[in-house]
């Protein structure tokens, strides 16, 4: 029986310490989701309310700009049970939070340091290079600014 929403995506974290095999093993039993395309103004409370609909949340870790230490549009949501994370992948991924379509993906697990954006300016890489204007993500991309 197909369950494509809960499968691993093609994305693999390039900064992961360990083999590809290790990473995939962790992804397959993970209870942690990466959540992307958040507005910079989306709060932990909103994330908790939305993602709480698929099960009890153990922890939300907000993604931060490495320089400014403010929210930069992503977060991690960790559940107590993998089944609850799977339901988030099936039913919360691709729906709206703060009027934005958010995207969820499996994460191998939070490690200190991973809460920071990896873009040169401190935010996420995608906000370095994008050309469009996005009011919820600081306006234009950093290279445009």
Contact call for residue 112 and other proteins (CB under 8 A):
no
Contact call for residue 16 and other proteins (CB under 8 A):
no
- Taking the complex as a whole, the smallest distance from the CB of residue 40 to other proteins amounts, in Å, to 13
Contact call for residue 2 and other proteins (CB under 8 A):
yes
Contact call for residue 90 and other proteins (CB under 8 A):
yes
Q: Which of 32, 37, 87, 104 binds other proteins (CB under 8 A)?
A: 87
Contact call for residue 62 and other proteins (CB under 8 A):
yes
Which residues have CB under 8 Å from 124's CB, separation 6+? 36, 63, 72, 73, 74, 117, 118
d(CA 51, CA 78): 10
Q: Which of 16, 23, 66, 98 binds other proteins (CB under 8 A)?
A: 98
User: CB-wise, 28 or 120, nearer to other proteins?
Assistant: 28
Sheet holding 57-64, edge to edge: 57-64, 71-79, 32-36, 103-107
Count of residues touching other proteins (by CB under 8 A): 28
Radius of gyration over every alpha carbon of the chain, rounded to an integer in angstroms: 15
d(CA 80, CA 120): 34
Binding span for other proteins by CB under 8 A among 10-18, 23-31, 89-97, 117-125: 89-97
SS3 72: strand
Element (H, E) at 50: helix 44-51
Which spans of this chain sit near other proteins (rule: CB under 8 A)?
1-6, 43-46, 48-50, 53-54, 56, 60-62, 87, 90-92, 95-99
């Amino acid at each position: 029986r197909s369950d494509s929403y809960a499968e691993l995506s093609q994305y693999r974290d390039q900064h992961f310490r360990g083999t590809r095999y290790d990473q995939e093993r962790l992804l397959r039993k993970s209870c942690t989701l990466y959540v992307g395309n958040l507005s910079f103004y989306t709060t932990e409370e909103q994330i908790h309310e939305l993602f709480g609909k698929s099960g009890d949340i153990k922890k939300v870790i907000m993604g931060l700009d490495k320089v400014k230490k403010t929210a930069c549009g992503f977060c991690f949501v960790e559940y107590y049970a993998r089944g609850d994370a799977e339901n988030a992948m099936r039913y919360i991924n691709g729906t709206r939070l703060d009027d934005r379509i958010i995207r969820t993906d499996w994460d191998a697990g939070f490690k200190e340091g991973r809460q920071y954006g990896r873009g040169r300016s401190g935010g996420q890489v995608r906000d370095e290079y994008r050309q469009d204007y996005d009011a919820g993500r600081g306006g234009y991309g950093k290279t445009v600014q």
